[in-house]
Amino acid sequence: AQKITQTQPGMFVQEKEAVTLDCTYDTSDPSYGLFWYKQPSSGEMIFLIYQGSYDQQNATEGRYSLNFQKARKSANLVISASQLGDSAMYFCAMREGWQAGTALIFGKGTTLSVSS
């Protein structure tokens, strides 16, 4: 079974609109972290936002917020006021356990296209 599922291969949004990118996860470990990365066509993976399994509040970083619903095992990324520069591939990732140096498990990604 996939540990990270991103069901939207592609999403289209107009500038200044908000968009939600879906991510569901599967783990039996009570300690885990969830991450979102942005990858423009240039290739660099840019860290956007992090949510820990014990965090009580949803994470926010500027225009990015993470809608964390623990019981549903979902960690959707919300981008408010989309910009043309937001066009990129977005990956949801999970780190299981609190052991240091643990690998990230990535979803298949969602391509976001922002139009003017």
Partner 1 sequence: DTEVTQTPKHLVMGMTNKKSLKCEQHMGHRAMYWYKQKAKKPPELMFVYSYEKLSINESVPSRFSPECPNSSLLNLHLHALQPEDSALYLCASSQESQGGADTQYFGPGTRLTVL
Binding residues (CB under 8 A) for partner 1: these are: 31, 33, 35, 37, 42-47, 50, 52, 89, 91, 95, 98-104, 106-109
Closest distance to partner 1 from the beta carbon of 50 (Å):
5
Nearer to partner 1, 100 or 116 (CB): 100
Closest distance to partner 1 from the beta carbon of 68 (Å):
14
Nearer to partner 1, 105 or 114 (CB): 105
Nearer to partner 1, 14 or 113 (CB): 113
DSSP codes, the chain: --SEE---SEEEEETT--EEE--EE----S-EEEEEEEE-TT---EEEEEEETT-SS--EETTEEEEEETTTTEEEEEE-S--GGG-EEEEEEEEESS-TTPPPEE---EEEEEE-
